[in-house]
Amino acid sequence: MTTEKTVQRLVAALDYPMVVVTAVAGDTRGGCLVGFTTQCSIHPPRFLVCISRRNATHDVALRSRVLAVHFLDRGDLELAELFGEETADDTDKFTRCEWDEGPDGVPLLRHSAGYVVARVLRHDQVGDHTALLVEAIAAEQRRPFRQLGFQQVRDMEPGHKA
């Protein structure tokens, strides 16, 4: 078996948290389900968010000054399906969920368990994804939650193949 296949098999057994990342640039809003994300600094609070270059969200995120990273509860499958299985190439996801404008106009999803709004510091090509380094400028926890994990959504059909 090739190294790449073995890596795929190993990471398929992990259960990392799934988030929905939203962005806005001008009049264009974008958002997708993301598994490739991690906190990478405590003081200041920073995260790395990796967006596939194939996603419609990619170009919006690269033009955005801020992103919103939404934390999902294991019951938030509807939001996960909307943002993970639909693409803005075919549908306006923001007519199909409730949201409010946050800092810089970034969409904040009303039914997420909580969110971090973060300023984009820089982005780097890291392979077939672009890594955005972001720093929290606002955050809210709306309710206690148990994370939606990769194992719960691994059979979803992504709107765009990675």
CB of 82 or CB of 144, closer to ligand FMN: 82
Using a 10 angstrom Cβ sphere, with 0-12 exposed, 13-18 middle and 19 or more buried, the burial of residue 156 is middle
Q: Is 51 in the site for ligand FMN (CB under 6 A)?
A: yes
Which tokens belong to 161? 């193949």
69 counts as binding ligand FMN under rule CB under 6 A: no
Q: Identify the CA nearest to 82 among candidates 96, 61, 69, 71.
A: 96
Spatial separation of the C-alpha atoms in residues 16 and 150, rounded to whole Å = 6
Under the binding rule (CB under 6 A), the answer on residue 97 touching ligand FMN is: no
Q: Does 33 bind ligand FMN (CB under 6 A)?
A: yes
Contact call for residue 160 and ligand FMN (CB under 6 A): yes
Stretch that binds ligand FMN, among 69-77, 86-94, 114-122, 135-143 (CB under 6 A): 86-94
Three-state secondary-structure class, residue 79: helix
Residue 50 interacts with ligand FMN (CB under 6 A): yes or no = yes
Q: Are strands 129-141 and 114-125 parallel, antiparallel or unpaired?
A: antiparallel
Query: What residues make contact with ligand FMN under the rule CB under 6 A?
Result: 30, 32-36, 50-52, 55-57, 83-89, 150, 153-154, 156, 158-160
